[in-house]
Amino acid sequence: MNAWRGLAWWAVALPLMPVLLPLALRTRCTALRLEPAAGDAHGLAAAELPGQPLDLLLLGESTVAGVGASCLDQALAGQLAAALARRLGRPVLWRALGENGITAGEACQRLLPLAQERFDLAVLVFGVNDTTHFTSVADWRAALRRLIGHFQGQGTQVVCTAVPPLQHFHALPWLLRRLLGWRAALMDEHLRNQALESAVTYCGVAISMQRDLLAIDGYHPSALGYRVWGESLAEVLGSRVGDPINTAQGPAP
């Protein structure tokens, strides 16, 4: 069924390429480009709480790099760490390894070598760039298996976050939003299946793309968007941290 839906996407997209390619090039040239968030790529949330800190890693694309927020404390890593600390009643020691524009396959080459120590929890945040770069399903799933396997080999609990709903990214023209949103949903379905196959958590929580939750580029979350996203993830994950095998599925967007 997944294969048929993928073929259906190409059957619709290919005849539209003479229109889509100029649209994509124009959008790329005119899009507002924001820098990654400032600040250290690590921190300690709720240091005043008792207990051993939870070692949290976020690894992924521009949202892990904090694009759209002024500092990483206010981006996804810091917001998720703070929300988890409140729910767990213990400090959370967080680290963010993110790169703007990176795909999951590129992360295997460039980010995994930087994550050799063991973490309690690793949150993988990928999908937007693999969608817009038209990564093949085979390459997408192979990269996911490699990322997941790396952390499972260290005894780290792994969480895969949902591919964001590109159909709501206001920075994209309508036709691109519709087709890329459709493709993102297909990539997310493969992500969900790969998480199930690898016996790790899939977390379908994503922020709604209301304008006040988006940065001025209309593409990345704002500081408020990151806070809402982080709190929503913590709500799903807070009761499951420490489970040896997890296939939790939050509400898909």
Question: For residues 135 and 52, what is the distance between their CA atoms, to the nearest angstrom?
Answer: 40
Task: Look at residue 251 in the predicted model and tell me its pLDDT.
Answer: 39
What is the structure's pLDDT at 27? 62
pLDDT of residue 41: 95
Q: Which of 16-20, 86-90, 162-166 has the highest mean pLDDT?
A: 86-90
Largest CA distance in the chain: 60
Cβ(215)–Cβ(225) under 8 Å? yes
What pLDDT band is residue 161 in, cutting at 50, 70 and 90? very high
> Strand order in 92-98's β-sheet?
42-45, 92-98, 54-60, 121-125, 157-161, 201-203
Look up the pTM and report it: 0.89
Phi, psi of 105 (to 5 degrees): -65, -40
Closest C-alpha among 109, 148, 107 to residue 129: 107
CATH no. for 45-237: 3.40.50.1110
Going by C-alpha positions, the residue among 61, 68, 59, 76 that lies closest to residue 37 is 68
Amino acid at 53: P
What is the per-residue DSSP string for 5-53? HHHHHHHHHHHHHHHHHHHHHHHHHHS--PPPPBS-SEEEE-TTS-SPP
Whether the pLDDT of residue 202 is over 60: the answer is: yes
How confident is the model over 62-74, as pLDDT tens digits?
999 999 999 999 9
Q: What is the pLDDT of residues 12-57, one digit of tens each?
A: 777 767 777 766 666 666 666 788 999 999 999 999 999 999 999 9
* Mean confidence (pLDDT) of the chain: 87
Which one has a higher pLDDT value, 207 or 228?
228
Number of helices followed by number of strands (H, E) in the chain: 8, 6
pLDDT at 242: 59
Whether the CB-CB separation of 221 and 213 falls below 8 Å is answered with yes
* pLDDT tens-digit map of 112-147: 999 999 999 999 999 999 999 999 999 999 999 999
